[in-house]
């Protein structure tokens, strides 16, 4: 099999449960659109531009993602298998692997994608999939394995026997396919009673052909969190906040209370800086070395030099030179102090 690896990100859904006019994959998460986390993780495993399948809010998604992807349009929302078929004109006929994920699973890491690709390269069959083991699998389809450990079925809960219901391994809806096999197989998926073509059913196509399907259990079940509601969005934000804070503490930044410290994905912080409770660092903010920030500080899209001290203040679109000690309760915008409004 060729070492070539392409990727498709499915991002065409309506996201009705978000109760929002904004396309689901554009909701901000750690300061960037949700789909940006997926794009960055995918970029860690392939240099090829991913194909993003767009539908609802297509123009908005295209504008937000820009030149970081190729785009295909799913005009009718006919399911995930149908969405993937939209990428066929760009990808069919190319030997190698195709990684397929969704734009609403922002916690997936490039490490997990890499492990799945490694499994796919060693798999003699056409499908390698990601699975997750949960203590309470209620409401999800179960991954059923055969005696040799390969996947023999994905059984939806409504059709599951008691033995199958006892299984706690679930489909995470991330796949790595043999690209040459995939496109004809997609056409064999039958329309569901709900009027959609489900990508999950492709496992049955491979099994019917006598081809092995392998599954990789994710090390961290949180990675498989799909964002369908604003509650899910908050859960994902908490996970990302913990990851980001841990990364900065390991890099030499001190935090008195990580639970009340909020750092966006694109923020940069120098070593020996101390962040006190209630610190919020947003956008493309850059903090120098040996600074003391907080308590109760918001800094957005600003640059602070080394040795700065800021407490009980707001700084937006501004720069502070080295060793600046800002008076508490300052609001600085565009390098100007903003006077409080008077009644």
pLDDT, residue 275, reads: 99
pLDDT per position as a tens digit, 294-340 = 999 999 999 999 999 999 999 999 999 999 999 999 999 999 999 76
Residue 93's domain is classified under what CATH number?
3.90.550.10
Contacts 24+ apart (CB under 8 A), 136-141: 137/167, 137/168, 137/169, 137/170, 140/170, 140/171, 141/170, 141/171, 141/200
pLDDT, residue 137, reads: 87
Average pLDDT, the chain: 96
Kindly state whether residue 286 falls inside one of the protein's structural domains. yes
* For residue 224, pLDDT beyond 60: yes
* Same-domain check for residues 181 and 301: no
DSSP count for the chain of H helices, then E strands? 9, 25
* Same-domain check for residues 157 and 83: yes
Q: Please compute the mean of the pLDDT values over residues 29-41 and round it to a whole number.
A: 98
Kindly state whether residue 342 falls inside one of the protein's structural domains. no
* Same-domain check for residues 261 and 309: yes
On the 0-12 / 13-18 / 19+ scale of CB atoms within 10 A, 173 is buried
* Same-domain check for residues 51 and 198: yes
* Same-domain check for residues 204 and 306: no
Kindly state whether residue 244 falls inside one of the protein's structural domains. no
- Phi and psi at residue 305, to the nearest 5°: -75, -170
Q: Please compute the mean of the pLDDT values over residues 3-8 and round it to a whole number.
A: 95
Kindly state whether residue 229 falls inside one of the protein's structural domains. no
pLDDT per position as a tens digit, 229-281 = 999 999 999 999 999 999 999 999 999 999 999 999 999 999 999 999 999 99
Q: Which domain holds residue 320?
A: 251-337
* Same-domain check for residues 301 and 190: no
pLDDT per position as a tens digit, 142-198 = 999 999 999 999 998 888 999 999 999 999 999 999 999 999 999 999 999 999 999
Q: What angle do CA 15, 75, 181 make, to 5 degrees?
A: 95
* Same-domain check for residues 218 and 257: no
pLDDT, residue 1, reads: 55
* Same-domain check for residues 135 and 277: no
Residue 267's domain is classified under what CATH number?
2.160.10.10
Q: Please compute the mean of the pLDDT values over residues 287-295 and round it to a whole number.
A: 99
* DSSP codes joined into one string, 132-167: EE-S--TTSPEEEE-TTS-EEEEE-GGG--HHHHT-
pTM for this prediction: 0.95
Element (H, E) at 244: helix 230-250
* For residue 342, pLDDT beyond 70: no
| Number of structural domains the chain divides into | 2
pLDDT, residue 2, reads: 67
pLDDT, residue 343, reads: 39
* For residue 16, pLDDT beyond 60: yes
């Amino acid at each position: 099999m060729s070492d070539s690896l392409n990727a498709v990100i499915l991002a065409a859904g309506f996201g009705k449960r978000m109760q929002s006019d904004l396309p689901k994959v554009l909701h901000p998460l750690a300061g960037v659109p949700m789909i940006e986390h997926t794009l960055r993780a995918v970029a860690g495993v392939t240099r090829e531009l991913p194909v993003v399948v767009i539908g609802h809010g297509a123009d908005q998604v295209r504008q937000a993602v820009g030149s970081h992807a190729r785009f295909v349009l799913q005009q009718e929302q006919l399911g995930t298998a149908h969405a993937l078929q939209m990428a066929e004109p760009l990808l069919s006929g190319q030997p190698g692997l195709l990684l397929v994920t969704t734009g609403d699973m922002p916690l997936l890491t490039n490490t997990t994608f890499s492990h799945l690709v490694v499994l796919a390269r060693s798999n003699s069959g056409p499908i390698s999939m990601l699975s997750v083991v949960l203590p309470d699998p209620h409401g999800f389809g179960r991954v059923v394995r055969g005696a040799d450990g390969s996947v023999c079925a994905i059984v939806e809960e409504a059709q599951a026997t008691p033995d199958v219901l006892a299984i706690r391994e679930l489909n995470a809806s991330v796949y790595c396919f043999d690209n040459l096999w995939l496109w004809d197989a997609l056409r064999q998926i039958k329309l569901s009673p709900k009027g959609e073509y489900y990508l999950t059913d492709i496992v049955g196509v491979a099994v019917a052909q006598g081809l092995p399907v392998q599954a990789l259990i994710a090390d961290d079940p949180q990675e498989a969190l799909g964002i369908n509601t604003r509650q899910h969005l908050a859960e994902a934000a908490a996970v990302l906040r913990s990851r980001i804070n841990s990364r900065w503490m390991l890099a030499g930044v001190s935090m008195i209370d990580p639970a009340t410290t909020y750092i966006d994905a694109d923020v940069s912080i120098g070593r020996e800086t101390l962040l006190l409770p209630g610190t919020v660092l947003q956008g493309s903010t850059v903090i120098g070395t040996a600074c003391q920030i907080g308590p109760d500080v918001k800094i957005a899209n600003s640059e602070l030099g080394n040795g700065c001290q800021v407490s009980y203040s707001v700084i937006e679109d501004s720069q502070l030179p080295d060793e600046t000690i800002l008076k508490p309760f300052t609001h600085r915008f565009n390098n100007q102090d903003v006077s409080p409004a008077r009644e």
